[in-house]
Every structure is written in C-alpha cells, then in structure tokens.
Amino acid sequence: MSARGVVIVGGGLAGMTAASELADLGYPYPITILGDERHQAYARPPLSKGVLKGTDADDSVLLPDSPSGQIRVRVSSAVIGLDVQARQVALADGREIGYDNLIIASGGRPRRLGDGTGQHVVRTIDDTLRLRDALGVATDVVVIGGGFLGMEVASAALSFGARVRVIDVRTPLVPVLGETLGRLTLAAASEHGVKVEVCPGGVVVECEESGQVRRVTSRDGRAFPADVVVTAIGDVPNTEWLRGSGVTLDAQGWVVVDDHARAHGADFAPGEILAAGDVAMLPQSGEYRRMPHWENAIGQAKAAARTVVDGPHESYTPDPYFWTEAFGIAYKIAGPIPPEGEPEVIKGDLDDRCALIRWTGAAGTTVAAVNHRIPVAKLRRQAREHRNVPTVQFQ
C-alpha cells in the first residue's frame, strides 16, 4: 500500500468525524480533508436557531480542530473531478491529489425555486449572516417550506418583529413529525402570529428588476406580500464532480452505499471509495433512503472510517435521533419518523406542552420529549425497544 492515505471530500461534520475516527483507530497514513468553504468545519443545526436570532455568537458553531497532526484540512479547495483509475481528485485550482481511499462527504446545497432570484437559504454561515441582516429590516417574511428548517427559520424571524408566513404544498411538519407533534407545533406557531398557507400547486417568487422581492403568488391566484423570502424546500447533491467517474449515483445524484458505507461502482475495488452524511443513500428496510441529520452524519462517518481500517466487518445500522425547536417548543426524538397513530403519554401532559410520549408500530418504537428534560442516552434506550431497521421518510 502506498502512503497517499485517505482523501475526504467535504469539510463538514461527516468529513471531520471520519478523519478523527481514522486517527483514533490508528490509521497510519496521511488524512486530507478538502472543503470548498472558506471557513473551518462547523455545526449546521444552530445556524437556524441561535445564530440566526443573534443570541449565539457566530463562532459558537465552529468545531474544534483535530489534535492529530496527521490530519490536514484544506479550506477553499473545491473538487471538480474524480479519476478512479488513477485514484486522484481534481481541484478547481488545477491541483490533483492522489488517494488510497476516498471518502465522499460533499453533502448537498439548498434547492431553490426557479432561478433562485430574491431567495435566501440557510445552509452555510454566510447564508445565515446574510439572512440575519435582511431580517433586521424586514416587514413581511415568507418562508417557503414547512419542514424542520422552515419552521425553525420562521420562529427565528419572529424575534426581529416581522410578520411571518409559512407556505407549503401540504400541511407543515405533519409529514415528518406525524399528526400529534405536527399539529402541536402548528398551534404554537399560530399563537405566535405566524400565518400558515397550504398551496398544493406551489408558488412563484415575484421580484422587481433589481432582484428585490415584491410578493409570492400561488398557482391558484393568491398573493402574499414579502420583502424577504426564505426557501427551505430540500436540497440537491453536491456530486457534479462524480459524474462519469464510475461511482454509482441514484436518479437525483446522491451516492449509493451499502451498509458498510462503501460506494457502488464497477471500476474500483469494494471499499476503495466510501460515502457518508447527507450525500449518501443507504439501505433501509429493503430500499435506499437518505438520513440528512446530525446523528447519521456522525454514525455513518465512523462506519466509513472503520471500513477503511478494518474492512467490512460491522454493518452500520442508523440509530435515529432528531432535535428541533420552534415557537417555544423543543423536541428530542429517538426512533423512526413520522410516527403513526396516537402516542402513549409516559410523563407529563401534552396539553401543557411538557411531556414524554411514545409510539410503538411496525417500524419500531419512537419516543419524543416535548419540553421535557431527559438524557439523550435514556431516550434512545427507550426507543430501541421492539426496534427494527428504521425507515425515515425524507426521500
């Protein structure tokens, strides 16, 4: 084996976790992380919460540097191509870097409506700071997309004193949180003055020639005033650099992996190329799905590192855990989502919005803490009862 080592494309949580795990496992060769942003690695979940509201310092999201001297992090290093025969990646600045193993952790970027004119997104630190500045002078804010991110942004926007409206093609949050928690959040949003609009046919963002947003209109003719529009309608894969490389991508461009985090492809040896985090489509309940969440990024990145060091000895099974907060309600959820049916109340009272609740179904057990203090480890132990391989309905 040569000493080119492992190259990790993507300087976010999955990439940094994979690098640290490789070092901890005693991997003896160089580890190079290539990130396209100018910032060092940072955590994304707080961006739509405390950082956007300005209650958390901008640098509070930065992840600590690895103490391992063998890990080299290169920021502002966009990768534009891959040659699996030569085992090297091509960078936008003309450099080429060879590898023995490649870990793909390039994630995704926000999906936008139309050409994206006049729309804010929340994915990077720079996105968040631009939106925060815009919210400071906003009167009418429209958030398009009512998932976790959209509702967190809407909640944060209220703190700036703006009128806030959330628009989705279906009832917000119910598809991902289920009826009980989805409706609970919508009630809290309404109490805080947020207007929720369901527009099944979608919407169009209308702008002045300058690019300034004027309004958002629905396909059925409704018009909503807006001077700030935020789109939170999912993401698209950062995998253009993999096109034609031989790495198997699904129809949308996400990287298909097995339960050892190994990428599929006929032109390279199994385990030579791996993928982790938001970019990966992993097997779940007989089909491939994404789990674009913090805990999966960590778990799958560690699995990729173990496969590099020890081979495919231990399968990776996701252990779903999610957390979100909006409109005065904080959720910690362990287990598959969305849960179905009515939950059992273990402690507290949902009417008081402080409870520990549980669902048990064919996909396994889901336990949710609603404004309820409980250690995450304990929450997960309860959710592992009657556990099956989890199915999470994101794609």
Q: How many CB atoms sit inside 10 A of residue 393's CB?
A: 11
d(CA 311, CA 7): 17
**How far is the C-alpha of 64 from the C-alpha of 61, rounded, in Å?**
9
Per-residue pLDDT of 23-60, as tens digits, reads: 999 999 999 999 999 988 888 989 999 999 999 999 99
The answer on pLDDT for 191 being more than 90 is yes
Cβ-Cβ contacts under 8 Å for 251 (sequence gap 6 or more) = none
pLDDT band (50, 70, 90) for residue 69: confident
What's the gap between Cα 211 and its chain centre? 28
DSSP E strand boundaries for 68-207: 71-74, 79-83, 88-91, 96-98, 101-104, 108-110, 119-120, 140-144, 163-168, 195-198, 203-207
Instruction: Between 363 and 221, name the one with better pLDDT.
Output: 221
Output the pLDDT for position 70. 87
Write down the mean pLDDT value for the chain. Answer: 92
End-to-end CA distance of the chain: 38
Greatest CA separation for the chain: 64
Residue 10 CA to residue 16 CA, distance in Å, equals 8
Q: How far apart are CA 312 and CA 298, in angstroms?
A: 18
Q: What are phi and psi of 134, to 5 degrees?
A: -65, -40
What is the SS3 assignment for 354? strand
d(CA 104, CA 395): 20
Whole-model pTM over 0.75: yes
- Dump pLDDT digits (tens) for 297-334: 999 999 999 999 999 988 998 888 999 999 999 999 99
Domains of the chain, CATH where assigned: 6-107+238-310 (3.50.50.60), 111-233 (3.50.50.60), 328-385 (no CATH)
pLDDT at 386 over 60: no
- Strand residue runs (E) in 114-246: 119-120, 140-144, 163-168, 195-198, 203-207, 213-218, 223-225, 228-231, 235-237
pLDDT, tens digit, 9 for 90 and up, residues 144-179: 999 999 999 999 999 999 999 999 999 999 999 999
